């Protein structure tokens, strides 16, 4: 008998200590299995890496390039515009624009206030704008910022905020050439004037290059150049900046003196048809466009010299006289009996300020006789008169190519009534632009040759078209010289030391109820010098309200100043005889060499 614990009986089902339970893998087996799996995975990874790096290199390179290699555009410089002597009128200067990747910027919203401060924007508005464009990866925040702003933005080094190099147009002469040159938009595309007319020529061709960008979109390396940018062409305009400044100054002073609403001056080179000056008032400074304080109105943008039309009034009378001489019915010595100083056409009485009696054609121009001009015009065949005016460019484009140019209005002769033919004689019932008026006078100064107007400098004179006999043109110019004489209406157009010829005009403005009695357009057109005409100048002052309104009082002095300055600038020698006080003209004998 044993008094201790009974010994636990080992059953057959209990495994021995340290042994494996029947049906379960041992620890060593499990460890080996796991190790085998890792070995197989490693081998698979190695095989995959070998496959990608050795056998699929091109695919990987293409994928990397698709994610980091980009083609960047290289901005091309827009061509410059210069005057005929090479003085700059329009040039493009490099500037920076700020753009962002909205999703990246919004990842760090705490930095938006600093960005807003650098751009002088409201932080809340900037945040709202970024949020509205969160689906985009390119958004301009500011275009053409000044260098100080660009430096502040660059110093912030905010992920997703980048600077882009662009170009901005600058006009050194400001409002002096504003109407002629026009302007470009923020993308450097021409919108008005010569900038629009020659936009394709001035535009450069952008270049391209491959760049490597990091995950924040920043360029980290230039890979290769694809195409170099090609700058636009340089446009050499016909303008002489010196004469342009002169005409601008004189026109602006005249408008202020006579309290006029607007005005234009055009100076043409008679020998080539080139426009040497073209100015308008009111004017605008194209450099000020887009500024918050800019007050440029749509009305101020018009180049009135080519877009606005006017009834030329008595400045048309020399063209009527030229048609009369061309008809063969009149000679320079022909005399017209205008007694009693009034003529009835239909139901309308046409009268002069005084009864001038019997006059020759030169006196009709000097006295600006409406009756005399009407009597001359009524004796011409209406189709012949219409053709004579049309050949001078009235009712047709001048050939300048300026955007928005008006052709004027010359009603067809088949629609003329007797009163139409009568009023055309003294510049009513038809209309023309200031440029057309100067161009028609250039025909007279150019011995009857018509040349298209040009706003670009010509290397040689264009092919001219004869529209008038040279003796006719010279005879009319001689007659117009008397308009500047002591008995003419254009005495204030005289230029010391030079013989000049021209014609005054004072046209009533057409309103809703007919022609107004108290609103006028003062006009003067003329040539200088008479001996060998070089300049054809047209001056238009619209609606002067300073007490005087006649063309001889308002527009003629502007012609005198512009002509005198232009003659000096071009170094054209005086052609008037030297007249000492109280003595007869002196004849200057030629001095033998």
Digit-coded pLDDT (tens) for 141-195: 988 888 888 899 989 988 888 888 888 899 999 999 999 999 998 888 899 999 9
Q: What is the pLDDT of residue 585?
A: 46
For residue 17, is pLDDT > 80?
A: no
What's the mean pLDDT in 518-547?
96
> 């005054």: which residue's tokens?
504
Which residues are 81's β-sheet partners? 90, 235
Q: Which of 97, 238, 264, 314 is catalytic?
A: 314
pLDDT tens for 458-484 read 998 899 999 999 999 999 999 999 999
DSSP 209: E
The two three-digit tokens of residue 193, written as one number: 């004037």
pLDDT class of 230 with cuts at 50, 70, 90? confident
Mean per-residue pLDDT over the chain, rounded: 87
Beta bridge partners of 574: none
Q: What is the pLDDT of residue 27?
A: 73
Alpha carbon distance 259, 41 (integer Å): 94
pTM of the entire structure? 0.80
Percent of the chain that is helix, strand, coil (3-state, to 5): 35, 25, 40
Average confidence (pLDDT) over 35-42: 80
First to last CA, the chain: 172
pLDDT of residue 367: 96
**How high is the pLDDT of residue 586?**
41
As annotated, the residues of the chain forming the CATH 3.90.1310.10 domain(s) are: 72-235
What is the dotted CATH code of the domain comprising 241-286+305-569? 3.40.710.10
What pLDDT is recorded for position 374? 97
pLDDT at 292: 56
What does the pLDDT look like over 239-261, one tens digit per residue? 999 999 999 999 999 999 999 99
Q: If you average pLDDT over residues 117-128, what whole number do you get?
A: 90
Reported as a pLDDT band with limits 50, 70 and 90, residue 3 is: very low
With tokens 């030229």, the residue in question is: 322
Which part of the chain has CATH 3.40.710.10?
241-286+305-569
Residue 587 clears pLDDT 50, i.e. is over it: no
In this structure, how many other beta carbons lie within 10 angstroms of the beta carbon of residue 216? 14
CATH number for the domain formed by residue range(s) 72-235:
3.90.1310.10
- Segment among 225-239, 328-342, 351-365, 420-434 with least mean pLDDT: 225-239
* Relative orientation angle of helices 370-378 and 317-327, to the nearest 10 degrees: 30
pLDDT recorded at residue 589 = 35
Give, in order, the Cα–Cα distances in Å from 440 to each of 99, 309, 402, 486: 53, 15, 18, 25
Span 565-579, average pLDDT: 89
Reply yes or no on whether 314 is catalytic: yes
Model confidence band, residue 372 (pLDDT cutoffs 50, 70, 90): very high
The two three-digit tokens of residue 495, written as one number? 């230029």
Which residues are CB-contacts of 511 (< 8 A; sequence separation ≥ 6)? Answer: 519
Q: What is the pLDDT of residues 59-88, one digit of tens each?
A: 655 655 555 566 666 778 899 999 999 999
Highest mean pLDDT among 86-95, 218-227, 235-244: 235-244
Neighbours of 367 (CB within 10 A): 21
For residue 503, give every residue at least 6 positions away whose Cβ sits within 8 Å of its Cβ, in sequence order, or none: 314, 315, 317, 318, 365, 368, 480, 483, 490, 524, 525, 526
Nearest to 585 by CA among 574, 573, 576: 576
**What's the confidence (pLDDT) of residue 470?**
97
Residue 413 has pLDDT above 60, yes or no: yes
Mean pLDDT of 262-278: 98
Cα(137)–Cα(579) distance, integer angstroms: 79
Q: Which residues of 513-545 are buried (b: 16+ CB within 10 A; e: fewer)?
A: eeeeeebbbbbbbbbbbbeebbbbbbbbbbbbe
Q: Do residues 531 and 537 make contact, with C-beta atoms less than 8 angstroms apart?
A: no
């Amino acid at each position: 008998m044993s008094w201790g614990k009974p010994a636990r009986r080992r059953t057959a089902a209990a495994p021995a200590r340290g042994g494996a339970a029947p049906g379960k893998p041992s620890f060593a087996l499990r460890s080996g299995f796991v190790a085998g799996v890792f070995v197989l995975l490693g081998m698979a990874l190695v095989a995959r890496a070998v496959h990608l790096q050795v056998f699929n290199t091109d695919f990987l390179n293409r994928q990397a390039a698709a994610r980091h290699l980009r083609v960047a555009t290289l901005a091309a410089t827009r061509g410059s515009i210069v005057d005929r002597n090479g003085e700059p009128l329009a040039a493009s200067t490099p500037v920076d624009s700020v753009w962002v990747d909205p999703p990246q910027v919004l990842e760090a919203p705490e930095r938006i206030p600093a960005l807003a401060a650098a751009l002088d924007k409201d932080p809340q508005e900037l945040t709202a704008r970024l949020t509205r464009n969160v689906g985009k990866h390119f958004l301009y925040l500011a275009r053409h910022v000044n260098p100080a702003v660009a430096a502040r933005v660059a110093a912030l080094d905010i992920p997703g905020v980048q600077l882009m190099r662009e170009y901005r147009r600058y006009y050194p002469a400001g409002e002096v050439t504003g109407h002629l040159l026009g302007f470009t938009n923020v993308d450097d595309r021409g919108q008005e004037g010569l900038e629009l007319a020659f936009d394709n020529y001035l535009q450069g061709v952008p270049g391209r290059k491959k760049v490597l960008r990091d995950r924040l979109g920043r360029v980290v390396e230039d890979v290769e150049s694809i195409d170099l940018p090609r700058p636009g062409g340089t446009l050499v305009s016909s303008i002489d900046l010196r004469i342009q400044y002169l005409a601008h100054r004189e026109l602006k002073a005249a408008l202020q003196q006579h309290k006029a609403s607007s005005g234009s001056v055009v100076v043409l080179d008679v020998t080539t048809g080139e426009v040497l000056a073209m100015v308008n008032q009111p004017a605008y400074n194209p450099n000020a466009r887009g500024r918050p304080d800019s007050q440029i109105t749509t009305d101020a943008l018009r180049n009135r010299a080519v877009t606005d039309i006017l009834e030329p009034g008595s400045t048309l009378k020399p063209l009527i006289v030229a048609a009369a001489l061309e008809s063969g019915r009149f000679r320079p010595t022909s005399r017209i009996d205008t007694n009693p100083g009034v003529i009835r056409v239909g139901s309308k009485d046409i009268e002069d300020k005084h009864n001038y009696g019997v006059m020759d054609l030169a006196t009709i121009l000097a006295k600006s006789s409406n009756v005399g001009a009407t009597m001359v015009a009524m004796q011409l065949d209406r189709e012949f008169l219409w053709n004579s005016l049309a050949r001078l460019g009235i009712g047709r484009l001048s050939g300048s190519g300026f955007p928005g140019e008006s052709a004027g209005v010359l009603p067809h002769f088949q629609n003329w009534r007797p009163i139409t033919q009568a009023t055309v004689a003294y510049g009513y019932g038809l209309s023309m632009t200031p440029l057309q008026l100067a161009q028609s006078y250039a025909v007279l100064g150019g011995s009857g040759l018509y040349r298209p107007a040009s706003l670009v400098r010509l290397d040689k004179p264009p092919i001219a078209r004869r529209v008038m006999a040279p003796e006719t043109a010279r005879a009319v110019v001689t007659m117009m010289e008397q308009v500047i004489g002591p008995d003419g209406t254009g005495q204030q157009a005289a230029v010391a030391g030079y013989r000049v010829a021209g014609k005054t005009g004072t046209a009533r403005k057409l309103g809703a109820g007919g022609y107004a009695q108290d609103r006028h357009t003062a006009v003067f057109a003329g040539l200088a010098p008479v001996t060998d005409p070089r300049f054809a100048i047209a001056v238009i002052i619209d609606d002067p309200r300073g007490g005087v309104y006649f063309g001889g009082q308002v527009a003629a002095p502007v012609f005198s100043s512009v002509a005198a300055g232009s003659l000096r600038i071009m170094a054209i020698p005086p052609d008037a005889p030297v007249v000492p006080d109280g003595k007869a003209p002196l004849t200057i004998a030629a001095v033998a060499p």
